[in-house]
Amino acid sequence: MKILICGDVVGRSGRESVAKYLPDLKKKLSIDIVIVDVDNAAHGFGITKEIAYQFFDLGADVLTSGNHLFDQKEAISLLEKEKRFLRPANMADVVPGSGIIEIITNSCQKVLVVHLLGQRDMPIIGENPFNFMDKLLQKYKIKRNIDVIVVEFHAETTSEKIALGHYLDGRVSVVVGTHTHVPTADAVVLESGTAFQTDIGMCGDYDSVIGMHKQAIIDKFVKGYGAKFAPATGEATFCASLVDVDDKKGLATAIMPLILGGKLKFSSL
């Protein structure tokens, strides 16, 4: 099985990069499941219903969110109506929607996608993600009642992401991080078979400060104030992780970062 997980989409240029690369990649690489983090897709802040369905039309199977979940007023109704749009699973149960979903592939494999939020430096406070996964994995066991488990962890600190990867090694198929918008050079299959990368990076313009116009953020650091933040509008780089999972074991055999177009252009296919 091939799984493609796209990093945080930032603004219009980020959306354009997904439109440019995703349909061809899905076809060329025979990808079974596509997951896209859309936490910054609507002008850098959250997601709208219209944009969500644009991603589904492009080939996304699941959309994940993060700390900007509530930045657009449409998010609540979207969570109530659309099961493929996930809020962090370890948020309070009073929040509508769900943070997990079971997807059946064309080859009849059952994939569980879990979206989690970190504990450090986040405006939304959720349950400890380590404890949450322990409870969830009492219900789901790879190759007993689920074929593949993918965890997308939207978190600030590299240490928390790396710790969760090792904590879940061998119990889930994939753990990848999002949120910091910078791709990390540590994509690896861990000792017990879980594919891991600390942060996928963003689908956004890298001639920026994590996807936003440079000067406003520079002014904030230099002066303590600045103009309203807005997404950079140059050509975006498409950042994603491509994971191969053994169909018999449900564990990963390979993980490869895809970094295409824009300022970075590291990958060639």
Residue 269 lies in a domain: no
Q: State the residue range of the domain holding 137.
A: 2-260
Residue 266 lies in a domain: no
Q: What would the DSSP string read from start to end of 57-73?
A: HHT-SEEE--TTTTSST
Q: In the chain, what are the helix, strand and coil shares in percent, each to the nearest 5?
A: 25, 30, 50
Task: Identify the CATH number of the domain in which residue 19 sits.
Answer: 3.60.21.10
Q: What is the pLDDT of residues 58-95, one digit of tens each?
A: 999 999 999 999 999 999 999 999 999 999 999 988 89
Residue 38 lies in a domain: yes
Residue 102 pLDDT > 90:
yes
Residue 23 pLDDT > 80:
yes
Q: How many domains does the chain have?
A: 1
Of these residues, 68, 115, 179, 181, which one is catalytic?
Answer: 68
Told to judge if 68 belongs to the known catalytic residues of this protein, a careful annotator would answer yes
Residue 105 pLDDT > 90:
yes
In Å, what is the CA distance from 157 to each residue of 116, 160, 177, 182, 265?
14, 6, 10, 12, 25
Q: What is the pLDDT of residues 208-236, one digit of tens each?
A: 999 999 999 999 999 998 778 999 999 99
Residue 265 lies in a domain: no
Pairing of strands 252-260, 195-197: unpaired
pLDDT more than 90, % of the chain:
91
Residue 267 lies in a domain: no
For residue 226, the model assigns a pLDDT of 76
Sign of CA dihedral 113, 193, 109, 244: positive
CA–CA distance, 268 with 158 (Å, rounded to integer): 27
Residue 15 lies in a domain: yes
166-198: b (≥16 Cβ within 10 Å) or e: eebbebbbbbbbbbbbebbebbebbeebbbbbb
On average, the pLDDT of the chain sits at 95
Q: Name the residue type at position 99.
A: G
* pLDDT band with cut points at 50, 70 and 90 for residue 12: very high
pTM of the model: 0.96
Residue 81 lies in a domain: yes
CA–CA distance, 16 with 238 (Å, rounded to integer): 9
* pLDDT band with cut points at 50, 70 and 90 for residue 269: low
Q: What is the pLDDT of residues 133-187, one digit of tens each?
A: 999 999 999 999 999 999 999 999 999 999 999 999 999 999 999 999 999 999 9
For residue 225, the model assigns a pLDDT of 84
Tokens of 165: 């990867």
What are the phi and psi torsion angles at 230 (to 5°)?
-145, 150
Residue 240 lies in a domain: yes
Cβ–Cβ under 8 Å, residues 124 and 69: yes
pLDDT more than 70, % of the chain:
98
For residue 267, the model assigns a pLDDT of 53
Q: Identify the residue whose tokens are 């996928």.
A: 200
CA–CA distance, 54 with 16 (Å, rounded to integer): 11
